[in-house]
Amino acid sequence: MTAVTDTTHHDDHRHGPAKGLMRWVLTTNHKDIGSMYLWFSFAMFLTGGAMAMIIRAELFQPGLQIVEPAFFNQMTTMHGLIMVFGAVMPAFVGLANWMIPMMIGAPDMALPRMNNWSFWILPFAAVMLVSTLFMEGGGPNFGWTFYAPLSTDFAPPSTTFFIFAIHMLGISSIMGAINIIATILNLRAPGMTMMKMPLFVWTWLITAYLLIAVMPVLAGAVTMMLMDIHFGTSFFNAGGGGDPVLFQHIFWFFGHPEVYIMILPSFGIVSAILPAFARKPLFGYTSMVYAVASIAFLSFIVWAHHMFTVGIPLVGELFFMYATMLIAVPTGVKVFNWVSTMFRGSMTFETPMLFSIAFVVLFTIGGFSGLMLSIAPADFQYHDTYFVVAHFHYVLVPGAIFAIFAATYYWLPKWTGHMYDETLAKTHFWMSFIGMNLTFFPMHFIGLAGMPRRIPDYALQFADFNMIASIGGFMFGVTQFLFLFIVIKCIKGGEKAEAKPWDGADGLEWSLPSPAPYHTFTTPPDVK
Amino acid sequence: MMLLHTPALFHSIAERASNMKSASKLKTLFFLRLGWLVGLTGTFVSGSALADWTVNMTEGVTAVSRSVYSLHMIIFLICVVIGVLVFGVMFYSILVHRKSKGAVPQQFHESTLVEVLWTTVPFLILVGMAIPATKTLIDIYNTDESEVDIKITGYQWKWQYEYVGEGVSFFSSLNTPREQIQNSRIKNPNYLLEVDEPLVLPVGKKVRFLVTAADVIHSWWVPAFAVKRDAIPGFINEAWTKIERPGIYRGQCAELCGKDHGFMPIVVDVRSEEDYAKWLVERKEAAAKERMILEEDWPMDRLMTTGKKVYEKTCAVCHQVNGQGMPPIFPALKGADLVVDKARVGDHVDILMNGIKGTAMQSFANQLNEAEIAAVITYERNAWGNNTGEMVTPKEILNYRKNGKYTPDPDNKTVTPFVNTKQAGL
Amino acid sequence: MADKDDKSPIDLSRRTLIRSGLVAGGMFGFGFAMVPIYNVFCKVTGLNGKTDPNPYNYNAETAKVDTSRTIKVQFVATKNTGMSWDFKPTVTEVLVHPGQVGELEFVARNPTEKQMIGQAIPSVTPFQATNYLHKVECFCFTTQTLEAGEEKVMPLRIIVDQALPRHITKLTLSYTLFDVTTMGERTLAS
């Protein structure tokens, strides 16, 4: 982390992008890096998605058909890790790279060379992570939460590489987060006060703080694992005086803020899109900022709600239950604000709006199941069942993924200078919407009925809903190739996009021509 | 939906609705599920009494499980009501306030009053919710005055039940045949939810569970009791239940514990107090008998039949029924040097008793009794054309336990070549 | 933000980088600091039933025995995977008055051909009783080394504290025996 800004840096490329491959390797341009993040995340989305398809195919019917249980566990583990660290987080960083400088009137990110590094670590980390699948003993098979001692004393030899991959992904995220903080704090155009910043910028600022607070804790956890595996320490080994439950505390101290890292930028995206297509200002901007901040704060004091069944003393159990229930309050405020934004507006329903509305509805359903899960006694029945799987996919697929789709469609004209194909995009939306609900809604039922998560085979009473879920899953999966096609088609050509293609849109980025020039806001704009 | 997987549906109904006419239940079930899918409100219109196990949480058979169920339903209904209100306003706006209908956008964007309102009202609802939840939780944590204590130990991938102070202890593992899992046989109604020896408990007594594990973290879960407790190696956890109705209750391990996490079910056989007492006496006698078996004569064919059973239950998961393993992780036993070399009987016993550190081969010294270990070694040395003709006796294993090394018993005279034509594939 | 005007954005960014880097480094340290914090927390609350790894200082003369109630203390033993020793208590429960010393023995035998080191990890339920069950003498304070074939009788002396909440009438002391041959001999308190 020695990269610091180069004072001569901005002077030497007032011209356009360099030519050839080296442009991408050496680039310090926020738009180039943003694009690379987005493409990388899409590649990871397809990789993790392919694993999800294997999982759903195996679960299509009871019995073992396609894969062995050992490989199935590797698939569930890698699906989780890749989607979290490879797809969702880099996609948000990519959007931040592209949009934050343009939204606050900055010429680039504050630390452009570090920006290049933080991206280029990612492909290597991802290759290392995926390569564990081909090592002797297979890849990580202990779930994305990698509870010790399954992930230490009982883990495959490839775990060492898994730990290094996590370290690299963590360093990349921390560098990305620092860059975003530095950009937002220092490079805002004159007149762009904090309380004038678009909510996407606000949510990302808070997310970035969460990242630098908790990614190092994850790094600490995997370092302790590494030491337990190779250097004879006993952090998590009861036999040496350690404690496996300690691992869970450390992991979830990271893990709970982490799940908000994956949702807060979505709040910002939706808060930009809903007003644009309702042609009405966002309702309750200030309360939205405070709500995000309180959600971020609460995320640090609720972690043990993932551990209600490990045997926490009653007082601790009650504390974490109450704290978790409290999260419903700021989250509710946000949903009410969004609905009020739509109320008495003048709405049109282009694809970004469709994805945003789906976000509000489905994320709220995920929030409801989250509230149910916070009730500790009820959690004894829900915990580690498909009800939990349904819950976090309801908050992550419509929450993170749909918001990323919405953002892509919303800003594609700005990025490419072309309008995307609205008919195809709407098809993409409806197929994704139906596929997603078909996949994850029945999971509530099989979870309540008693199907544990992370099992390759199940009892017969779960069969029909699993089959529906698999069909929905395949539908959702196939649909994403359509998304790829739409994006490529839009890059290649299409109807010329105006500087501001959405008549209700608001923000500095729309004052720039479409496509946005390679260098923007080299002289800061005037913000009123 | 019904047409998609009729056999599965049939099984679930058969198990759940033994006292109802299948046809009418089927109809109810269909409408019930339709209700769930059409709208969130569908379920409570149908009524919780009809809620099927495959759609909603079970009410269970204990006071705790019923209060958990009612907590679940209350919070669910609150969510439904809030959902209907919020989505109602939203879809009203979507339908009415659209540009195509000539809606003119208003410009209001702030109101402190409503912000305060929709912060405090949800807060009060949450407080209302927390009160019954706290009560139930306090109840769940009160393990005082238990009458029966069961120590539950999770192993990869089976459960051990010990009746504390009674001297009864046994392993309980999946007994669904491999062929059903591999889809070459029709699956039982209780597919994957059946074990060789269930936990037997008395009805109406406060039973305390002491939950721990011997390798990785497991979680012991029986939905009908609303008991789910993590089994953590090195530490002991408590839970309790008081079951109201005799019957068979099924559950599964709920914490990812490795390869066969999905294959370590829990079956609890709840009996009347007299039946339980009777069973306990019989079980103690059986345990004594088991110890006596060791002193008995074990001819080759008896070792082979027992060995085949033990092998298929315990070893075939990794080394496969045909002994060919899944190299390189699970080595083949067919023709393996260790298994056919006469000089290496001692090593063979060693490995089975102590496992191989750092590999998937675990120690079976605590999991199998002497007779089972002797039988399975004998079986491995003679099955699949290995045909060494050697035999290891329970007594030799007993001596191994005492002395820590394998010494052939002078009484073990059987060296007649033994060919199992079926296993050798002839 | 106050000094935004007198420093260039690049200097400010460099400062943000250093500060945020320090925060990240500090949080990495905090991850490790959670280990002792957690241990103190466990000790105070009895979380996980972790007992004091040091002998209880018992004074027979000042100790008052509360004969008004009798506590049942159960003993259970678990062998962790890979541990081939025989390991069990000679009695599965004792009845004691609070303040009175309860004595029993555990027997361990190493049936293997090589020297092995074992470590017994104690755990108490219910958790709220953890701090009220004292061990005057316990084989769990240190590792136990057994030669090939050796059998060892290990005494255990416990006292239930007089301040034990009255609603608790039954305690369970569990030992899980781990094979720590590769880790060597040590005391648990370290």
Residues B35, B83 share a domain: no
Please state, in angstroms and as integers, the Cα–Cα distance from residue B236 to each residue in B214, B222, B230, C107, following that order: 11, 18, 9, 21
Is there a contact between B363 and C167 if contact means CB atoms under 8 Å apart? no
Number of domains in chain B: 4
User: In terms of Cα–Cα distance, which of B1, B20, B15, B48 is closest to A461?
Assistant: B15
- Per DSSP, chain A holds a count of helices (H) and strands (E) of 18, 0
Same domain, C90 and C25: no
B276, B292, B308: which is the final residue of a domain? B292
The answer to whether residues C78 and C174 touch, using CB atoms and an 8 Å cutoff, is yes
Examine residue B101 and state whether it is found in any structural domain, yes or no: no
pLDDT band at A268 (very low <50, low <70, confident <90, very high): very high
End of a domain among B242, B262, B292? B292
| Burial profile B16-51: b = 16 or more Cβ within 10 angstroms, e = fewer | bbeeeeeeebbebbeebbebbbeebebbeebeeeeb
B15 CA: distance to closest CA in chain A (Å): 9
Residue to mutate among C92, C112, C130, with most B CBs inside 10 A, is: C112
Same domain, B284 and B153: yes
Q: Between vectors from CA C44 to CA C39 and to CA C49, what angle results, nearest 5°? A: 70
Within 408-437 of A, beta carbons closer than 8 Å to B belong to none
Interface test with C, best of A100, A178, A196, A225 (most C CBs within 10 A): A178
Substitution target from A226, A243, A320, A521 for chain C, most C beta carbons within 10 A: A243
The whole-number average pLDDT for the span A68-83 is 96
pLDDT in tens, B10-26: 444 344 434 343 444 44
B334 & B346 share domain: yes
Active-site pick, A30, A31, A280, A334: A334
Which of C49, C92, C169 lies nearest to residue B144, judging by beta carbons? C169
Question: Is A411 one of the annotated active-site residues of the chain?
Answer: no
Using a CB-CB distance cutoff of 8 angstroms, which residues of chain C are in contact with residue B238? 125-127, 172
CB–CB of B194/B187 below 8 Å?
Answer: no
User: Which string of DSSP letters, residue by residue, matches C30-80?
Assistant: HHHHHHHHHHHHHHHHTGGGPPPSS-----TTTPPP-TT--EEEEEEEEE-
Q: Would an 8 Å CB–CB cutoff place A335 in contact with chain B?
A: yes
Neighbours of A397 (CB within 10 A): 23
How many cross-chain Cβ pairs, B to C, lie less than 8 Å apart? 95
Average pLDDT, chain B: 82
Catalytic residue (choose from A30, A31, A56, A79): A79
| pLDDT number for residue C62 | 65
My answer on whether C66 and C28 are in the same domain is: no
Q: In the structure, what pLDDT confidence band is assigned to residue B412 with cuts at 50, 70 and 90?
A: low
Instruction: Indicate whether B58 belongs to any domain.
Output: no
Distance from CA of B35 to the nearest CA of C (A): 44
Residues 23-82 of C with CB under 8 A from A: 23-32, 34-35, 38, 42, 45-48, 50, 53, 80
Name the domain count of chain C. Answer: 2
The shortest C-alpha distance from C2 to chain A (Å) reads 11
Neighbours of chain B (3+ CB pairs under 8 A): A, C
- A191, HSE (Cβ side, Cα atoms, 13 Å): 8
Annotation says A391 is catalytic: no
Q: Return the pLDDT at C32.
A: 93
Inter-chain residue contact A70 with B130, CB threshold 8 Å: no
Nearest to A63 among B93, B183, B215 (CB): B183
C123 found inside a domain:
yes
Mean pLDDT of chain A, nearest integer: 93
Q: Does C180 touch chain A (CB under 8 A)?
A: yes
Lowest mean pLDDT among A28-37, A42-51, B276-285, C53-62: C53-62
Domain identity same for C108 and C26: no
Q: Mean pLDDT, to the nearest integer, of B385-411?
A: 78
Specify if C28 maps to a domain: yes
* A79 near B CB under 8 A: no
For chain B, give the percent of residues with pLDDT over 90: 46
CA atoms of B58 and B42, how far apart (whole Å) = 18
Instruction: Please tell me whether residues C74 and C108 are part of one structural domain.
Output: yes
* Residue B88 belongs to a domain: yes
Is residue B131 included in any domain, yes or no? yes
Distances (CA, A) of A384 to A142, A448, B219: 14, 11, 9
Distances (CA, A) of A166 to A51, A130, A159: 19, 12, 10
Total length of chain B: 426
B165: exposed, middle or buried (C-beta count within 10 Å: 0-12, 13-18, 19+)? Answer: middle
Give percent of chain C above pLDDT 90.
36
Asked if C57 and C23 sit in the same domain, the reply is: no
Same domain for C31 and C85, yes or no, is no
A–B interface: beta-carbon pairs under 8 A = 312
Q: Which of A35-44, B341-350, C120-129 has the highest mean pLDDT?
A: A35-44
Whether residues A377 and B100 touch (CB distance < 8 A) is answered with: no
Query: Is residue C155 predicted with pLDDT exceeding 50?
Result: yes
Helices A69-81 & A30-58 angle (0-180, nearest 10): 150
Mutate to test the interface with B, among A136, A381, A441, A466 (most CBs of B within 10 A): A381
In a shared domain, residues C26 and C110: no
* Chain C neighbors (3+ CB pairs < 8 Å): A, B
Instruction: Determine the average pLDDT of the residues in A132-151.
Output: 93
Topology adopted by domain A27-511: Cytochrome C Oxidase; Chain A (1.20.210)
Does residue C158 sit in helix, strand or coil?
Answer: strand
Q: What is the CA radius of gyration of chain A?
A: 23
**Residues in chain B within 8 Å Cβ distance of C176:** 212, 214, 233-235
Residue B152 dihedral angles phi and psi, to the nearest 5°: -110, 125
Give start and end residues of each alpha helix (H) in A398-526.
402-416, 422-448, 463-492
Interchain contact A386–B (C-beta under 8 A): no
Q: What is the DSSP letter of A304?
A: G
Q: Given pLDDT bands bounded at 50, 70 and 90, which one contains residue A93?
A: very high
Q: Taking CB atoms and an 8 Å limit, are C14 and A181 in contact across chains?
A: no
Measured CA to CA, the distance from residue C175 to residue C106 in angstroms comes to 10
Residues B327 and B284 in one domain: no
Q: Tell me, yes or no, whether B221 lies in a domain.
A: yes
Do B380 and B260 sit in the same domain of this protein?
A: no
3-state secondary structure A348-375: CCCHHHHHHHHHHHHHHHHHHHHHHHHC
Collapse the DSSP code of A242 into the 3-class scheme (helix H, G, I; strand E, B; otherwise coil) and give the result: coil
Domain that holds residue C155: 52-179
**Partners of C160 in the beta sheet?**
C133
**Would the CA dihedral through C10, C15, C18, C23 be positive or negative?**
negative
CB-CB contact of B82 with A257 (8 Å): no
State the smallest CA–CA distance between residue C82 and chain B in angstroms.
Answer: 5
Is residue C72 assigned to a domain? yes
A279 catalytic residue (yes or no): no
pLDDT at B43: 37
Q: Are residues C21 and C72 in the same domain?
A: no
Whether the per-residue pLDDT at A415 is higher than 90: the answer is yes
Helix, strand or coil, per DSSP, at residue A458: coil
Q: Are A381 and A372 in contact (CB under 8 A)?
A: no
* Lowest mean pLDDT segment, chosen from A428-432, B233-237, C128-132: C128-132
Q: What is the pLDDT of residue B411?
A: 60
Residues C23, C83: one domain?
no
Our answer to whether residue A331 is catalytic in this structure is yes
Looking at the structure, do residues C174 and C84 belong to the same domain, yes or no? yes
Question: Domain range for residue B24?
Answer: 6-50
Tell me how far apart the alpha carbons of residues C16 and C18 are, in angstroms, rounded to a whole number.
5
The yes-or-no verdict on residue A13 having pLDDT over 80 is no
Is B38 in the same domain as B82? Answer: no
Please tell me which residue in A31, A167, A256, A414 is annotated as part of the active site. Answer: A256
Residues C40 and C102 in one domain: no
CATH number at residue C106: 2.60.370.10
At a CB cut-off of 8 Å and minimum separation 6, what does A169 contact? A85, A86, A121, A122, A125, A126, A129
Q: How far is CA A54 from CA A48, A68, A368, A488, in A?
A: 10, 11, 29, 27
Looking at the domain assignment, is residue B204 inside a domain? Answer: yes
In a domain, B102, yes or no: no
Cα–Cα distances in angstroms (integers) from residue B76 to residues A370, A469, C134, C155, in the given order: 11, 22, 46, 55
Query: Does C185 reside within a domain?
Result: no
The more confident residue out of A284 and B421 is: A284
Q: What is the CATH number of the domain that holds B173?
A: 2.60.40.420
List the single range of A178-192, A215-229, B158-172, B410-424 with lowest mean pLDDT. B410-424
More confident residue, A5 or B141: B141
Shared-domain flag, residues B379 and B411:
yes
What residues does each domain of chain A span? 27-511
> Two tokens at A467?
């089959």
Token look-up 């000094």 returns C3
Query: Who's near A316: CB < 8 A, 6+ residues apart?
Result: A304, C45, C47
- Same domain, yes or no, for C59 and C134? yes
Among residues A108, A228, A379, A509, the one annotated as catalytic is A108
pLDDT at position B301 is 82
